A and B are shown apart, each in its own frame.
Chain A
Amino acid sequence: MITFSENKLKEAQRIINRYPQGKQKSALLPLLHLAQDEFGGWLDVPAMDYIASLLNIEPIEVYEVATFYSMYNLKPVGRHVFEVCQTGPCMLRGSDQIIDYIKQRLQINVGETTPDGMFTLKTVECLGACGYAPMMQLGKTFREHLNEEKVDQIIEECRSKAARNN
């Protein structure tokens, strides 16, 4: 059975304690974030069932939330997920060209993962970085003012990080 590490479990408990008695379901979104970080970047059914058991709620209550919010991955994703913003303000600053360039560099289409499982390319809607466009989210960071050289650098950076960790 999957479980949180002792540290994560403590963090989960700290989050649950924020809410008044009986309102522990409010911890659902934060705990799903924790689970996704802990269990390989996506949420499978056992992971969701585990969160349900921690919060003492029905598994269906977790599924219906996990499917509503776009940040929860319900399928495995690559090690590095490029989430490139494609909304109007980014489009005005060349996001279409950046998306095309990444497709060509990684030889994948939007929504796909490279065969080595290293990169996933997604398009997303406005991330609140319109003044620093074009941009993408990479993990917990925003990469802004993108151009072809910066994209190359980011790809290199991800590859060398993966090489170091292996």
Chain B
Amino acid sequence: MGKKLLIDRVGIEGIRYFDTYRKHGGYASVEKAFKMAPADIVEEIKKSGLRGRGGAGFPTGMKWSFLAKPEGVPRYLVCNADESEPGTFKDRYLMEFIPHLLIEGLVVSSFALGSNRTFIYIRGEYAWIVDILEQAIEEARQNGFLGNNILNSGFDCEIYVQRGAGAYICGEETALLESLEGKRGNPRIKPPFPAVKGLWDSPTVVNNVETLAAVVPIINMGGDAYSQIGIGKSTGTKLISACGNINRPGVYEIDMTISVEEFVYSDEYCGGIPNGKKLKACIPGGSSVPILPANLLFKTAKGEKRMMTYESLADGGFQTGSMMGSGGFIVLDEDQCVVRHTLTLARFYRHESCGQCSPCREGTGWMEKILNNIEYGRGKMNDIDLLWDIQRRIEGNTICPLGDAAAWPVAAAIRHFRDEFEWHVLNPEESQKRNYGLANYAEPREVVAS
């Protein structure tokens, strides 16, 4: 059993409510933090090596230290609970089952950053979680952990929950801020970065739910102790939401020391593939990151065991590796069609493109159309090259990373599963009746056993 710091208490009856949460050690980090100087809290976060859990993995302590502090200008902390990357449902789990952990993390973080008005921006579809969070906030206020002069520290803080209304792009931090200001969710051109000019032009830090929750154990145990968990620069624990063709879909907290193989096959985590099927492919970090065929999932191209860490998942770059991303772990068994799966992702990105940049707006539309043709037996051989060409022209040529996020899944699918695309083109009728199957992808268990 690995170490659990975030969701270990979820099984406790009534942990959703303040009294129970408090009885089980809740809000201790606030008491500890308020005896520290804000700059020292930032220092602890730096020492912990915590990296943003929203997808990009940027060091949180460093981000916090970039926050501008001009005299007489308010600063804001905004919690990103937009969680819309396909395959990702970890923040929801944390907020739904242990909401006070997030609220506690927000109080400490708001104090460290000097935010008196902190917002949780949550995706609109999580409507019932808004109620859970608002209740937790109200309980925290009644118990003196929010409001004016918290614990006689002289620090005032309010937390508000703002519901989005159905737009993946609002997870991108500048689009989120636009949306929070009551506008369309069009990403802003950076610089200026939010740390200088964010919400209502004030210096702002945007962090993911899980990142802000991790602040609690870091303050409780100290940054150094936290940094001892994990391997290298992958410190601490990470929530992984696992889905697709596995026996035990759900949210798991791992300390970043286990192998991908253990994660897939151990009964503590995914519990293997149902019905005795074989593993075909996996998208280990949310829909935006490259898909890996089974034979590259458990071992890197160098033949090393692939671990559930930022570095190991990315080993080999985009040629033979992938990314930790948001921790959305999507498993495909031998019966699944990579073309069809990629088509659903292309449709998703076309649907979610905000339309500001032509490479993204037009490119996502074309990718969906071409994939649709291939999937439904109307594809031509050179469509595969055309797809490759379009994704290449999107990547790096847009205002925000959604363009890249749309390009990468298509690129990786063609890179690793080109024969499956070609089979669709060459067998337009047969491909309507059956899936390509495992074909010649290595059976991963054998690879691992060797």
Residue pair B181, A25 in contact (C-beta under 8 Å): yes
CA distance A26 to B202 in the complex (A): 15
Could you say which of B124, B243, B351 contacts A33, with CB atoms under 8 Å apart? B124
Which residues 378-400 of B sit at the A interface, judged by CB distance below 8 A?
A: none
Residue pair B123, A26 in contact (C-beta under 8 Å): no
Shortest distance between the CB of B308 and any CB in chain A (Å) = 17
Chain B CB within 8 A of A87 CB: yes
Chain A CB within 8 A of B145 CB: no
Chain B CB within 8 A of A93 CB: yes
Residue pair B124, A69 in contact (C-beta under 8 Å): yes
Which residues 85-112 of A sit at the B interface, judged by CB distance below 8 A?
A: 86-89, 91-93
Residue pair A69, B165 in contact (C-beta under 8 Å): yes
Given A33-B124, A69-B124, do A89 and B200 touch, yes or no (CB 8 Å)? no
- A27 to B, closest residue via Cβ: B182
Chain B CB within 8 A of A50 CB: no
Given A88-B341, A88-B344, A125-B352, do A140 and B165 touch, yes or no (CB 8 Å)? no
Chain A CB within 8 A of B415 CB: no
Chain A CB within 8 A of B363 CB: no
| Chain A residues with CB under 8 A of B123 | 128
Chain A CB within 8 A of B197 CB: no
Residue pair B86, A131 in contact (C-beta under 8 Å): no
Interface size on A, residues (CB 8 A): 41
Residue pair A91, B344 in contact (C-beta under 8 Å): yes
Residue pair B345, A88 in contact (C-beta under 8 Å): yes
Looking at chain B's contact residues, the main secondary structure is mixed
Shortest distance between the CB of B139 and any CB in chain A (Å) = 18
Interface size class of B (residues with CB under 8 A): 35 or more
CA distance A117 to B164 in the complex (A): 27
Shortest distance between the CB of A109 and any CB in chain B (Å) = 17
Could you say which of B88, B162, B166, B182 contacts A71, with CB atoms under 8 Å apart? B166
Residue pair B345, A130 in contact (C-beta under 8 Å): no
CA distance A91 to B375 in the complex (A): 14
Which residues 169-208 of B sit at the A interface, judged by CB distance below 8 A?
A: 179-185, 200
CA distance A64 to B355 in the complex (A): 14
Could you say which of B74, B127, B183, B354 contacts A20, with CB atoms under 8 Å apart? B74
Residue pair B345, A26 in contact (C-beta under 8 Å): no
Chain B CB within 8 A of A146 CB: no
CA distance A40 to B243 in the complex (A): 36
Residue pair A128, B84 in contact (C-beta under 8 Å): yes
Residue pair B352, A89 in contact (C-beta under 8 Å): no
Interface string of A43-82 (1 = CB under 8 A from B): 0000000000001000001001100111110000000000
Shortest distance between the CB of A24 and any CB in chain B (Å) = 8
CA distance A142 to B180 in the complex (A): 24
Interface string of B120-153 (1 = CB under 8 A from A): 0001111110000000000000000000000000
CA distance A105 to B125 in the complex (A): 25
Chain A CB within 8 A of B80 CB: no
Interface string of B359-371 (1 = CB under 8 A from A): 0000000000000
CA distance A64 to B185 in the complex (A): 11
Q: What 7 pairs across the A-B complex have the smallest Cβ distances?
A: A28-B182, A69-B165, A70-B166, A131-B249, A71-B166, A126-B86, A130-B243
Shortest distance between the CB of B96 and any CB in chain A (Å) = 11
Residue pair A88, B287 in contact (C-beta under 8 Å): yes
